[in-house]
Amino acid sequence: MNQHAELLLSGGTLVTPNGSQVADIACRAGRIVAIGELGQWRADQHLNLAGLHVLPGVIDSQVHFRQPGLEHKETIEAGSRGAVLGGVTGFFEMPNTNPLTLSGADLQAKLAIASRSSWCDYAFYIGGSAANCTDMRALEQLPGCAGIKVFMGSSFGDLLTDNDEILRQLVQNGHRRMAVHAEDQARLLQRKQQFVGSHDVQLHPLWRDEQSALLATQKVVRMAEEAGRRLHVLHVSTAAEMELLAQHKRLVSVEVTPHHLTLTAPDCYQQLGTLAQMNPPIREQRHQDALWAAINNGLVDVIGSDHAPHTLREKQQPWPDAPSGMTGVQTLLPIMLDHVHAGRLTLQRLVDLTSAGPARIFGLAGKGRLAVGYDADFSIVDLQARRTISSEWITSLSGWTPYDGRGVTGWPIHTIIRGQAVVLDESLCGQPAGRPIQFLETALQEIPS
C-alpha cells in the first residue's frame, strides 16, 4: 500500500456513528484513503489535532446568499467565507435572488459566480412556480441543482406559490425531494389586517401564527402523500407541525434552525427588536420545547441556518415594514456546539443533523461521513474553547448577528474541504476553490410506489 498522504491529520478525536475515537486520517486526491494508527505514513502536510474533535464536513442546506441582484446584502464570496470560518464545508442556496432562479440559465449564472468565488462546495435550488411547473422533471436533474424550492408564503411575484393547482403540479412533476416554506398566504393576508397601524414587533408571531404554518404544512404533506413525492419541510417552528409530521415520515423530512432552537418570544423581540424578525417567527417557549423534543426523538433530519441577511438600515425599519431574516451560516456550528456543551444534544446527534442527515436525505455523493473513499471534508472543533460571538467577526456584507455578545463553549478551529485547508487556527487561508456538490443517481430517480 502506498503510505504517502498529501494531508495527514493525527491525534484528533473522530466523531462517527459508532461514537468517538482517537485516530489518524490520511487524505490523497481530495479523499480519505486511510483511518487508524498511521504513524508510519509520510505526508506533504501534517496537522496535529490532539485535543480537537473531527466532524464530517458540515453542510448548511438552507442559505440565501443574495447574488445576483442583491449584492448590497450579501454575495456568494462573503457568505461562503463566513461559512468556512464557521466550520461549514458546503451549502445549498435559495432561489429568491434577482433575477429569480427559475431556469437552467439562471442556475448556470449562479454556478459561474460560485466557480470563481465560493470558499466551499455548493448547490443551488431552482424555485418552483407557475412559470416553470411543467419543466420540473428536467430542471431538478441539472448538475449543481439542489432540488426544487417552493414558497407557499413569504415571497412575491413568480416565486410565490399560493395557488393550489400550481402547487399540486409542482408536487406531481418531479422526483427529487422538494423543499417547501410552509405558511398559508391567504391566512397571512387576512390576519395582517388585525395589526394595521401597529409597529410592535412582538406581534410578529401573533400575525404569522401557529395555524398559518400548520394549514400550509397539512396541505402540502397531503399532496405529497397523494403523489408519493418526497418532501422537505423547512424551518419547522411549531409544536402542532411536529405532531403532524411525525405521522408522515415515510416521505417527509424535517428541518429546524438554530434560531428557533435558541431564541424565544417575547424576550428576543424585547432585546433585539426587528433584528429578531424572521419567517416563520421565533415563537414561545412551548414551541421551542417541542422542537428540542423532536431533535431528541429523531423526528428532525437536518439543521439549516436559513442565513438570510439584510442590511442594518433595512432591518431598522419599523415592523412590519422591516424585512424578515437574519444571518446564520457562520454561527450555525458555534451555536449548536454550545447546545452540545449544555447537554441538550450529543455530539453524535449534531453530526447526524449537520453532516450525515443532509447527505442521507438529499443523496450527496461522497459527503457526510468520516470513511475511506469519502471526500476529505472536515469541520475540526475545540469543544472546550470559549468564545464570544460578535458582529465584528461576521463576514456577511450585512455585518451583524443576533448573537452579538453571546458567549459560547465549542468553536470551529480548522476547516478542510477535499483535503485542502481553507481555515487554519481560525484564520482564512488559500483562495476560493469550491466545487458543485454532486448527487447520487438514486437521489435523482423516482422512488418506488
Q: Enter the C-alpha cell of residue 308.
A: 438570510
Q: How many CB atoms lie within 10 A of CB 337?
A: 26
3-state class (DSSP) for residue 274 = helix
Which one, of 130, 122, 181, 126, lies nearest residue 148 by Cα?
126
**Residue 378 near residue 56, CB atoms below 8 Å:** yes
Q: How many CB atoms lie within 10 A of CB 343?
A: 7
Cβ partners under 8 Å of residue 406, min gap 6: 388, 389
Q: Which helix (H) or strand (E) holds 255?
A: strand 252-256
Angle at 149 between CA 144 and CA 154, to 5 degrees: 140
Q: Look at strands 121-127 and 88-93 and give their pairing.
A: parallel
The letter for the amino acid at 44 is D
Sheet of 58-63, strands arranged across: 58-63, 88-93, 121-127, 145-151, 178-181, 231-233, 252-256, 302-303
Please tell me the distance from the alpha carbon of residue 303 to that of residue 53, in angstroms, as a whole number. 20
DSSP structural state of residue 193: G
Q: Which one from 306, 352, 375, 382 is the annotated catalytic residue?
A: 306
**Helices 76-85, 104-117: inter-axial angle, 10-degree rounding:** 60
The letter for the amino acid at 146 is A
Which one, of 160, 139, 136, lies nearest residue 150 by Cα?
160
3-state class (DSSP) for residue 303 = strand
The DSSP annotation for 396-435 comes to STT---TTTT-EEEEEEEEEEETTEEEEETTEE-S-----
3-state class (DSSP) for residue 120 = coil
Active site residue 301: no
**Residue 387 near residue 397, CB atoms below 8 Å:** no
Strands, DSSP E only, in 257-406? 302-303, 378-388
DSSP structural state of residue 344: S
Q: Enter the C-alpha cell of residue 178.
A: 422538494
Which one, of 114, 34, 19, lies nearest residue 371 by Cα?
34
Indicate which residues carry an active-site annotation: 306
